[in-house]
Structure 1
């Protein structure tokens, strides 16, 4: 198996355990991490630069959502990148509203570590479920 895909699968397993330290261990110090980089709809959206800023992404998710499904559906890789599609289900803690969507993750590696992450989601659904 491609070691980059295995690393991403390990990141997903760590996410499922709530083990942010294991995720940080495979990132470069200057990682460029963003979920919906141009959006401010959700607290986990936006760009985080450097390993020290990444934990706030996971805090925002944990404070806002209960994850009900996180199922990797497909992976592909090149010399430097991994692309993944994830089936994601969640309940918004503040409202109790639930939804499901496909997430698209793009991971770029440098010297065996993750240097770049971009995540996309159904921002219209996210906005609908977060609106009081």
Structure 2
């Protein structure tokens, strides 16, 4: 059985998909663009975009009743691999020890011409994963 996760604290889906799905003890978020859910605007620089994408991910996790400590795997899509160090600096402010596994790939283009998109897989175990 699957459960759709939806929050107004993250941007609404821009297509026929859910912000996240919880199934079999796991939470799978859709890729989160750096759209501010309050304004519908996207920051211009890559650091601000990375921060907003992660804020959106964390809002979805909060709605699911978990936090960043439950994240097992992240996937970061970036427009320019040259921005990796900048994105990494922002990323490390959201995750601490016991970092999740991560993939980071450069892509030709992202929806709405974003510079960053981030998705995660998390456990819905309400206790911290060690």
TM-score norm. by structure 1 comes to 0.28
More strand as a share of residues: 1
Q: Which has the higher contact order (CA 8 A, sep 6+)?
A: 2
TM-score norm. by structure 2 comes to 0.28
